Chains A and B, each alone.
Chain A
């Protein structure tokens, strides 16, 4: 173990946190956090939401001033007053959703906030600027025309442009905050390659992520924060994923990993959901069945049409071909309200966009689809509604300042649990989940997994779309493989593994043709 508190100055330490303290009112966000980051090292920073990762990064970036301790860069204590100063000192940050102007060209986005240095007669020399941009993009392994608009790039290309943007200023420390959260597996791998090559060139990488499996593929050293305190800083080689999950939460987490037992679904009567030759502008000829109580995963690379498929099932988009049946009865929803009426619900991928209503308090968000139930002679019984929401939130262990709080006051994991709380009171027939643990901390993730299994055990059929193949491994009885808007096959039971799925998706081969 590295003795992080040692006095002796390690020449390799490009960055050191020394006893950093930050309080917000009476809450301590960081409590004497000390650890070094070495030149050329990929240093993972992990912890639950609220453990203090973001606060630490914001101190480093100059957004916050620490109440105690200091940040040491190249042996000198520094205090940045704003992000500009951090950047000039060679510290660059890339966040989950980089700030871009999607209508502008890649070059213009690379130069956001920076001066245009190539001039001709006082005017911007665009030819040279684009050339310089092409050069910058090459440094992160991107070969694309810098004149293209940023909006037309794929998600991982945007993240790489964001890296290129901070790279161009003599970078020494690169902070990557959840940069892979919305990327699919091969895109993650591309990003990782670039990160490794930057580290080889001596850049210290501070890598924040909830995805443990990814951290173990990438990181040299892991620092775990819990409740604002540093729990450990150790070489990744000395730790296992289970160790880290335990250190993050402070207790054993068993259910996050691949299940050993496999339950074959009971197949009596018509399947709960039957989908036959379904299609729209993009999806072609999709057919599959889902049994009662079965958990079916949908795996696919970004852009394969996974979300679109869920939207067809939920009536968000109109079906243009094919038929669907619920328990043998024809089903053709034109609106989500019709899907709900048939016992189908969807938990969406991006809760901020279409998950919750920020202007309503937590309790009204929980009861949102069911307000009608609290109506007596036309008037809402607010107290009954409030009690019901409170009961559901407690059952799911939603941690919140108050159930009358705003959704924005909850952490991502607790927001997600509050949204799940909508659907546990009914006997839903089918629950559709789109990236159910996107941006959710380990503890909440584990609780959500338990919940999904509980619902399935009670007979709800569940369809899960997830970019995290570990999630699919941990949850699913069967996995549908979606590639370029077509189902290319399925994997079931003990055959479900990351390797099989990835191989099939990349090669486009059917591990086993869907038998219908």
Chain B
């Protein structure tokens, strides 16, 4: 410690501000950021009280964890695109395509595991680069560009699978890669943990993460500050669609069968989870931890309703309601922020 005084001054200032920033999250008017967590706990209490033996069983809780993992990987990928201020409606189609590609290569062409995974990752890169080029170079609105790419991908998926369910001839290595487990916890959860950890750290503690947030916050200002915004947008799409394709692979390997276009059903909950996450806990932005809360809130609600014997359509009602309420929550917090200055 060569300069103990100034250093400790700065340190205490830093620590104090961190504490202030932390407590500033929980004044009474900012209850909005805790609402998703409170809702999450309320769901567990309600389902737990209604069906304690079934819902609170170890088997059920771990199956919520296992079943939500693929959705969570998708939602983490989407989060990166949302951070940079874009949209990716093709991420679910990327999952369908990644799964189909893996199934066709393994079951019909007898490819070993490693080249299959490389092919799936490469397909994700190509999808991401396509989205990125359409959005940056050709300045298309992401909404339109990614819908277009999604439709192309769905067509390709039907083409390579011949629109048939694939459920035989999978190699053992392929099936094991999606279904190994430690205790009750299955492979997808471990893959998710790795993905979430890397992304969370990258967003918060790397220059790239800062550049992504800055680009999403104000593109013009970021460019003027010397950030290559096109590269950030391209990177975000590539990360998202690679994770999309990998999620499709993991899903297929875990199921041991492939239904073409299975990804479509993931689209709405993926967006719902990420938006719910953006109003959870911290600042008004998308972040990985929030997305995970969003995913598991939706998953818990869905499975809870199933256990209570609610008809299947209530699951869609639930996901839709969560998406709308989450977005309303975001608006409420936004107004808070703007009136703070008097």
> Are B341 and A409 closer than 8 Å at their CB atoms?
yes
Q: Does A340 contact B (CB under 8 A)?
A: yes
Q: Does B114 contact A (CB under 8 A)?
A: no
In the complex, what's the smallest C-beta–C-beta distance from B111 to chain A, in angstroms? 34
Q: Which of A119-154 contact B (CB under 8 A)?
A: none
Given contacts A379-B206, A382-B205, contact A356 B13 (CB under 8 A): no
Given contacts A335-B228, A346-B224, A360-B214, contact A409 B207 (CB under 8 A): no
Contact flags (1/0) for B78-120 with A, using CB distance below 8 Å? 0000000000000000000000000000000000000000000
Interface size class of chain A, counting residues whose CB lies under 8 Å from the partner chain: 35 or more
> Are A360 and B14 closer than 8 Å at their CB atoms?
no
Q: Which of B194-234 contact A (CB under 8 A)?
A: 201, 205-207, 209-211, 213-214, 216-218, 220-228
Which B residues lie within 8 Å of A372 (CB)? 207
In the complex, what's the smallest C-beta–C-beta distance from A308 to chain B, in angstroms? 15
> Are B17 and A403 closer than 8 Å at their CB atoms?
yes
Shortest Cβ distance from B223 into A: residue: A336
> Are B338 and A348 closer than 8 Å at their CB atoms?
no
In the complex, what's the smallest C-beta–C-beta distance from A482 to chain B, in angstroms? 21
User: Contacting B206 at CB < 8 Å: which of A316, A357, A375, A383?
Assistant: A375
> Are A387 and B227 closer than 8 Å at their CB atoms?
no
Contact flags (1/0) for A387-412 with B, using CB distance below 8 Å? 10010000000000011101011000
Which B residues lie within 8 Å of A359 (CB)? 213, 216-218, 283-285
Given contacts A357-B217, A386-B14, A404-B17, contact A340 B337 (CB under 8 A): no
Report Cα–Cα, A357/B211, bound state, in Å: 11
Report Cα–Cα, A316/B206, bound state, in Å: 26
Which A residues lie within 8 Å of B217 (CB)? 357-360
Which B residues lie within 8 Å of A379 (CB)? 201, 205-206
Given contacts A337-B227, A380-B207, contact A408 B337 (CB under 8 A): yes
User: Contacting A360 at CB < 8 Å: which of B213, B224, B228?
Assistant: B213
Q: Does A368 contact B (CB under 8 A)?
A: yes
Contact flags (1/0) for A1-32 with B, using CB distance below 8 Å? 00000000000000000000000110101000
Q: Which of A340-393 contact B (CB under 8 A)?
A: 340-341, 346, 348, 353-360, 364, 368-369, 371-372, 375, 378-380, 382-383, 386-387, 390
Which A residues lie within 8 Å of B205 (CB)? 379-380, 382
User: Contacting A387 at CB < 8 Å: which of B14, B225, B228, B283?
Assistant: B14
Which B residues lie within 8 Å of A346 (CB)? 224
Given contacts A372-B207, A406-B337, contact A348 B224 (CB under 8 A): yes
Given contacts A390-B13, A402-B20, A406-B337, contact A369 B221 (CB under 8 A): no
Report Cα–Cα, A203/B223, bound state, in Å: 46
Report Cα–Cα, A195/B13, bound state, in Å: 51
Quick one: which of A27, A348, A356, A372 has the most chain B CB within 10 A?
A356
Shortest Cβ distance from A406 into B: residue: B337
> Are B226 and A340 closer than 8 Å at their CB atoms?
yes
Report Cα–Cα, A409/B341, bound state, in Å: 6
Which B residues lie within 8 Å of A158 (CB)? none
Report Cα–Cα, A409/B342, bound state, in Å: 9
Report Cα–Cα, A27/B340, bound state, in Å: 13
Report Cα–Cα, A52/B210, bound state, in Å: 36
Report Cα–Cα, A403/B220, bound state, in Å: 23
Which B residues lie within 8 Å of A353 (CB)? 220-221
Report Cα–Cα, A359/B82, bound state, in Å: 14
Q: Does A422 contact B (CB under 8 A)?
A: yes
Which positions in A face B, CB cutoff 8 Å? 24-25, 27, 29, 314, 316, 335-337, 339-341, 346, 348, 353-360, 364, 368-369, 371-372, 375, 378-380, 382-383, 386-387, 390, 402-404, 406, 408-409, 422
**Interchain residue pairs with CB less than 8 A apart (6):** A25-B342, A27-B342, A29-B342, A336-B223, A356-B221, A359-B216
Which positions in B face A, CB cutoff 8 Å? 10-11, 13-14, 17, 20-21, 201, 205-207, 209-211, 213-214, 216-218, 220-228, 283-285, 337-338, 340-342
